[in-house]
Structure 1
Amino acid sequence: MYSFLTTGTWPDYELLDAGNFEKLERFGRYVLARPEPQAIWDQHLPPSEWERAHATFRREKGSQERGQWQLKSGMPEQWAINYDQGDLHLRFRLGLSAFKHVGLFPEQDPNWRFIFEQTKKRRAAQPRVLNLFAYTGAATLAARAAGADVTHLDSVKQVNFWARDNMEASQLDGVRWLVEDAMKYVRREVKRGSKYQGLILDPPAYGRGPNGEKWQLEDELNELLKLCKELLDPQDHFFLINLYSLGFSALILDNLVANIFPTITGTREIGEIYLHDQGQRKLPLGTFCRFSS
């Protein structure tokens, strides 16, 4: 089933506008302007609205990623916002990084709700969930809030500290934190015969492990998914993968999952995640595939 997923009503987040390769967002009380390569259309709001941004990210000359934030008076470098959807209540610390990110990807809201609901319905008393490339932990916390035994893995130590801050702010505990290379860890878990009722993957296009291990999405993803098949409880499971790489269409992801998980009994949902702005333009922000037993 091909689907388009978007964020629901969220008082502490709003995409105000997107266009001219930028996006204007509100996180809590603060408005941020930062680059967005897929927003190739014209902006909807007048320049005066963009000029009201509390922080604007400007790329360094010659760099596609690094840059600096220009802050107005009173704009902090760190602040917190709340996330409340039904029975799921979380709190996130945000910060202005040198790579334009703020520590949260709001378009993942429908996947956080999927993780929360799927964890609650598992037959296992305390489902085991593995979150790979877990970043600052929103998906980890959604699973933990639903009662899962969660292993959170990311190769960057500072990111795991950030995720721990989010856990404590959300009044949760009990997460297992790993600073590890995802492929190495998954291979070891397969050899151990480990099984998980939930697998969450959010791999980058490229990256490095804690000891310099190279990750290239198109080279590694096929093997990683095959290993994940060995880890997934065949009788009681949910699976979610999200990709941000512009070169990976949902059809590529669909082919991979269909080949590697041919005996899926539930509905396999495949598609795109987007945010809509005040002009009702849809900003694409990734592809996903998810299924459950």
Structure 2
Amino acid sequence: MPKRFNILTQTPNTIQLLTPQYWKDYELIDCGNFEKLERFGELILIRPEPQAVWPKSLHESEWNKLHHIRFKGRSATSGDWLKKNPKIADRWHISYQNKEAAIKFRLGLTSFKHVGIFPEQAVNWDYISSTIKSFKNPQPKVLNLFAYTGGASLIAKAAGADTTHVDSIKQVVTWANENQELSELDNIRWVVEDALKFVKRELKRGNKYNGIILDPPAYGHGPKGEKWKLEDHITEMMHDVVQLLDPQEHFLILNTYSLGFSSVIVENLIKSSFPQVKNLETGELYLQATAGSKLPLGVFGKFRS
């Protein structure tokens, strides 16, 4: 007879679908046919969106009428912005405010279709600020890895945290510093380094953090050519990162935007690296289009003590 294994009964983890609640300067108007129609402040953009495989809700003529700027790809990784009015600036500002904090961003038209912000991450920003405000420590230490232009770093700092921001690209760290100045904040610690190398050095130093945020890309490179591939390195990263958590008061967020990753994979990664985890939440982030569709934009796992 085949050997039977005892399966431990565990409390099931409910998978959540979450979308931002507090945006005023951002709106997903419509999405479909591999594009999205978005409002950032007063400007409306059309950008490529590989997840939007369904038809558009609004007619193409409505898209053409509404938008100010459209991204047209030249290759798989770059393209050009086509403006209806050439006087439209390449840079502009928007704000975000939740119950605990307010921050500002400088947006810009990059050749990679990005504008400097991922609006769905506001769900995680709300979790960060509310958790920081709930801690007994009045100035908890927060580490933001793969930190990009600093949305999570800004909200953590605005909520009162001693914040360290790590990214391997100097230009985006400079951009994040601009956002800090716009937000009238200061003293975020800026680190231009490979995230995994930084974590290993912090382990040797014996440093601890009350909050850790990871938003790793599917692929990437460190400042010295270090290669990052999500499925090859995320297990090692998670194993090391959880050792940096303060045992008394802590939170961790793992966010991934990789088409091959599910919230179940994220749940397994967290539980295998941190078996004593409590209050674990996993799920999918999405943006709700005004025209009706839900646009999925990554999966997350997060927990706090």
Fold similarity call, TM over 0.5: yes
- State whether residues 19 and 42 of structure 1, in contact with CA within 8 Å, keep that contact through their aligned partners in structure 2: yes
Residues 65-98 of structure 1: CA deviation (Å, up to 9, x unaligned):
2111111213211000111222321111000111
Structure 1 equivalent of residue 21 of structure 2: 8
What is the alpha-carbon distance in structure 2 between the residues aligned to residue 8 and residue 121 of structure 1? 20
Deviation at 1:64?
Answer: 1.6
What is the alpha-carbon distance in structure 2 between the residues aligned to residue 31 and residue 279 of structure 1? 15
In the superposition, relative to structure 1, how do residues 251 and 180 fare at CA in structure 2: closer, same or farther (>3 Å)?
same
- State whether residues 22 and 97 of structure 2, in contact with CA within 8 Å, keep that contact through their aligned partners in structure 1: no
What is the alpha-carbon distance in structure 2 between the residues aligned to residue 221 and residue 11 of structure 1? 34
1:58 pairs with one of 45, 64, 72: 72
RMSD over aligned CA atoms reads: 0.9
1:225 pairs with one of 222, 238, 249: 238
Q: Detail structure 1 runs of 4+ shifted over 2 Å in the superposition.
A: none
Deviates more, 1:83-92 or 1:192-201: 83-92
Structure 1 equivalent of residue 283 of structure 2: 271
What is the alpha-carbon distance in structure 1 between the residues aligned to residue 125 and residue 81 of structure 2? 28
Q: Secondary structure at the match of 2:18?
A: strand
Deviation at 1:9?
Answer: 4.0
Structure 2 equivalent of residue 175 of structure 1: 188
- State whether residues 100 and 129 of structure 2, in contact with CA within 8 Å, keep that contact through their aligned partners in structure 1: no
1:67 pairs with one of 51, 55, 79: 79
Residues 142-175 of structure 1: CA deviation (Å, up to 9, x unaligned):
1001111100000011101110111110111110
1:146 corresponds to which letter in structure 2? A
Which runs of no fewer than 5 residues in structure 2 stay unpaired?
A: 1-13
TM-score between both structures, scaled by the size of structure 1: 0.97
- State whether residues 28 and 36 of structure 2, in contact with CA within 8 Å, keep that contact through their aligned partners in structure 1: yes
2:215 pairs with one of 202, 205, 216: 202
What is the alpha-carbon distance in structure 2 between the residues aligned to residue 228 and residue 275 of structure 1? 29
Residues 106-142 of structure 1: CA deviation (Å, up to 9, x unaligned):
0111110110111111222311100000000010011
1:283 and 2:290 matched: no
1:152-167 equivalent positions in 2, closer than 5 A: 152-167=165-180
1:254 and 2:267 matched: yes
Structure 2 equivalent of residue 102 of structure 1: 115
Which structure would you say has the larger Rg? Answer: 2
Residues 5-30 of structure 1: CA deviation (Å, up to 9, x unaligned):
10114221100000000000000000
1:113 and 2:126 matched: yes
Q: Secondary structure at the match of 2:31?
A: strand
Deviates more, 1:44-53 or 1:146-155: 44-53
- State whether residues 122 and 197 of structure 1, in contact with CA within 8 Å, keep that contact through their aligned partners in structure 2: no
Residue correspondences, number: 290
TM-score between both structures, scaled by the size of structure 2: 0.93
What is the alpha-carbon distance in structure 1 between the residues aligned to residue 291 and residue 154 of structure 2? 32
1:124 and 2:137 matched: yes
2:164 pairs with one of 151, 166, 173: 151
Deviation at 1:279?
Answer: 2.5
Which runs of no fewer than 5 residues in structure 1 stay unpaired?
A: none
Deviation at 1:48?
Answer: 2.1
Q: Secondary structure at the match of 2:50?
A: coil
Q: Secondary structure at the match of 1:51?
A: helix
Percentage of pairs with the same residue: 54
2:263 corresponds to which letter in structure 1? A
